[in-house]
């Protein structure tokens, strides 16, 4: 579905959209949601830093303990939450993740953010929006809308974790 070039173009466009919507990089903090949201956050922050000529702070936000499905699904290994110097209070926080599906991960991320500080605003940047929301959550910045059936799975591979950049769909009628 998407290869390395398409992912790079999507991230570059998203970085410009974030900066345009914020009227520059002032008071921006980008937080990646593990696992693949972390390298996406780093890439977005690097692209925005390149445009702005100054560093855009980037960190990670582990939401494992905030998930509402802990009783049903096995818990994955927790990863550290790293908040850049200066924190998130009164900042515009851009949450970065790979796939937006039900919205439950983002709900958990908002709960986790509330325990860390009080951002002025929270924006959501996702590489893929596949639809099928359970909660009233939408992304502010989307790399690619990929309408899928609920039987299909979207797989995101990133070079930092998987050796290659690609987005594929499996299952369903495809």
Q: Say what the pLDDT of residue 63 is.
A: 94
> Hey, which residues does 35 pair with through a beta bridge?
none
115 domain residue, yes or no: yes
Say if residues 113 and 130 touch (Cβ distance below 8 Å).
no
- The model carries a pTM of 0.94
Digit-coded pLDDT (tens) for 101-116: 999 999 999 999 999 9
C-alpha dihedral over 48, 140, 142, 118, to 10 degrees?
Answer: 60
Q: Say what the pLDDT of residue 68 is.
A: 80
10 domain residue, yes or no: yes
How many Cα atoms within 13 Å fall on the side-chain side of residue 53? 0
Q: Say what the pLDDT of residue 50 is.
A: 98
63 domain residue, yes or no: yes
Range of the domain at 117: 4-149
Residues of the chain with pLDDT under 70: 70-76, 173-174
* Residue listed under structure tokens 């390149």: 50
Q: Say what the pLDDT of residue 79 is.
A: 87
Q: How many domains does the chain have?
A: 1
155 domain residue, yes or no: no
| 151: three-class secondary structure by DSSP | coil
39 domain residue, yes or no: yes
- Report which of 18, 40, 14, 35 is spatially closest to residue 27, judged by C-alpha positions: 18
Question: What CATH code is carried by the domain that includes residue 37?
Answer: 3.40.50.2020
- Report which of 6, 2, 49 is spatially closest to residue 26, judged by C-alpha positions: 49
């Amino acid at each position: 579905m998407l290869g390395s070039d398409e992912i790079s173009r999507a991230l570059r466009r998203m970085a410009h959209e974030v900066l345009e919507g914020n009227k520059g990089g002032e008071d921006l903090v980008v937080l990646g949601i593990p696992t693949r949201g972390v390298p996406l956050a780093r890439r977005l922050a690097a692209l925005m830093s390149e445009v702005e000529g100054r560093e855009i702070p980037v960190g990670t936000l582990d939401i494992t303990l905030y998930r509402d499905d802990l009783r049903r699904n096995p818990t994955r290994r927790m990863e550290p939450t790293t908040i850049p110097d200066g924190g998130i209070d009164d900042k515009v926080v851009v949450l970065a993740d790979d796939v937006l599906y039900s919205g439950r991960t983002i709900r958990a991320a908002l709960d986790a953010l509330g325990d860390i500080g009080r951002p002025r605003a929270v924006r959501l940047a996702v590489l893929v929006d596949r639809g099928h929301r359970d909660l009233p959550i939408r992304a502010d910045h989307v790399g690619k809308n990929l309408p899928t059936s609920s039987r299909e799975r979207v797989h995101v591979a990133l070079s930092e974790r998987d050796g290659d950049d690609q987005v594929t769909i499996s299952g369903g009628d495809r």
